[in-house]
Amino acid sequence: MSCSPAACETRHFWAGLTEASYNKNPAAGFGNAVVFSIHHSHRTSPPLHLRRTASIFLVARMKLERLHEYILITVVILAGSVFALYAGSKVGAGDSAKVGAVIFAFAVALLLIRYKMRAWVWIPLFWPIASKVGFLPGELPVRDLVIIVLFGAFLVFKALKISKIKPVYEWVDLVLVFNILYLLSVFIRNPVGTESMGSEKVGGRGYFEVIFALLAYWVIQRVRIDDRTATRLPIIMVAGTLFTTVLQFMADHFPFSAQLIGKVLPEYAATDTQGSLNTQPDAELERQQYLAGAGSAIFQLLCARYLPTTLFNPLYIGRFLLAVMSVQFIFLSGHRIGIFYIGFVFFMALYFRKGIATVIMGLALVIPLLALLITLQSTVLPLPFAAQRALCFLPGKWDQAAVADAKNSSEWRYEMWRIALTTDKYIVNKWLGDGFGFTRRQLEEMVSASTESQENFMIVGDFHSGPVSAIRYVGYVGLVLFVILLASIARCAWKLIIASRDTPFYCLALFIGLPAIYHLGGFLFVMGGYQNDLPQAIFNTAMLQMTSFSLARFKESARGAGRKTMAASLSFSRRPSLPRMELPTVR
């Protein structure tokens, strides 16, 4: 009996729907119905609407075990649709900052999924970036945001058994625990909050910085690196400092870019060009202080990678130009401290590489170069004001304004130290410390006063002296504990540098070890601040411990590979047995 095409399609469709598979899996039975109807009613080419229907319901024929293959696609489509609606509504309302924050968070999540444990290098990369993100809510700087994200990610990695490394603790970690416990006791005796919390005593950001440094310490302790990462890590760490320097250079020399930089990293939009304490209205008195960090980092990297005496040899043109540029950066910053630091790094790197004899040779190289520079400055090639200010502690004919400015700067610091240590106005409890923070009345005084006034520096505890600032925050007891911590870190750095000689970890050991050794003397005798030096000490401890344990694992694997190679070289094949000979039978 003939039927119309539509009736045939309906008949065949229901015939397929009654297949046995429908009783086991309704979705599969429905897909079979579509396929059955198409197959029987259209022998050649079924219509477009039936082909589309089949393509949809054939998916339903999949087995339940393959369901996970389609979950990701479904989630991505749904999430994309929801985000499209959200972004459209926010952009239409003129609130594009939240959309940018969501996109940024999504990009970070993708990077964490891609790199997993290797994402820890974001901490040393972003450690120098202390500015907040302009388009994100809150006042947290970039490095604190990175630490929070990685801490949360590593908690997930640990729960999923992706992170299986158990941290190992040594003497320096115990000393760090004593320092943290004592700082906790100081906080309990002197509770403080932030201005946004409405506390009576504000300015407690120093405690938060210590907490973030401890979170970074927790993450880095659960990392082990190979030799390839060890050779690249110093460059990664320098990149963060160079990034901040480039931003400040652009804001200083290209004012039109300051507005764009201010939207992303506001603290680097304002130029860090500071006038000296001399009141003479001279344009040469400006110092480009932001160049000091880049100059020190580049010179430190060069001394870690190469023999320092080759840095000023024009035959090695690449390292020669970089060394000259880094020293020029230090000169233009006007920092005498920068001169001391690169001198320390230069001679200590010489000592670790070649011994005391090479240090004497280095002195024989540096002293004539300095004498030539001073002679040229006094006769035919006057140095910029900032460079003369940085070098005026050396004998020579210097600009009197530069000498006076450097002298005024030193006297300005000495005056702060004398007032802080001989009166109770700025340090009440000199034995146990007053903790971080200040009262709201002092905050009002700072707002009404000049930004660069001596009063403001003393209220916040920025005395330009490590010991005095430590006495302000944690007292003499905390100062002793912190000096013991810095000495323990210097000892670990010294041992690491010696142990890593003739290994791929030597450059990294010098790069992170030399500043750790300098930290003790710099804090005590040059310039320091407890509020910044304690987080830096925690970071140095984590990096040194991670490098030390990674070096030990590298040596162990090298010894294992050496034993296998030796066993393979000593092994020999078994001598083949001679063919069995049968004597002829004598008859």
pLDDT of residue 567: 63
The parts of the chain modelled with pLDDT lower than 70 are 1-72, 94, 97, 135, 137, 194-199, 270-286, 450-452, 563-587
Q: What is the C-alpha separation between 312 and 333, in angstroms, rounded?
A: 21
Write phi, then psi, for 439 (nearest 5 degrees). Answer: -80, 165
Q: Which of 434, 551, 406, 437 is nearest to 492 (CA)?
A: 551
Q: What is the C-alpha separation between 214 and 456, in angstroms, rounded?
A: 29
pLDDT of residue 221: 94
Which residues, 6+ apart, have CB-to-CB distance to 572 below 8 Å? none
pLDDT of residue 151: 96
| Distance from chain centroid for Cα 409 | 32
Write phi, then psi, for 42 (nearest 5 degrees). Answer: -135, 95
- 527-530: list long-range contacts, CB under 8 Å, 24+ apart: 527/337, 527/464, 527/465, 527/466, 528/465, 528/466, 528/467, 528/469, 529/461, 529/462, 529/463, 529/464, 529/466, 529/469, 530/461, 530/466, 530/469, 530/470, 530/472, 530/473, 530/474, 530/478, 530/482
Q: What is the C-alpha separation between 149 and 154, in angstroms, rounded?
A: 9
Write phi, then psi, for 464 (nearest 5 degrees). Answer: 55, 35
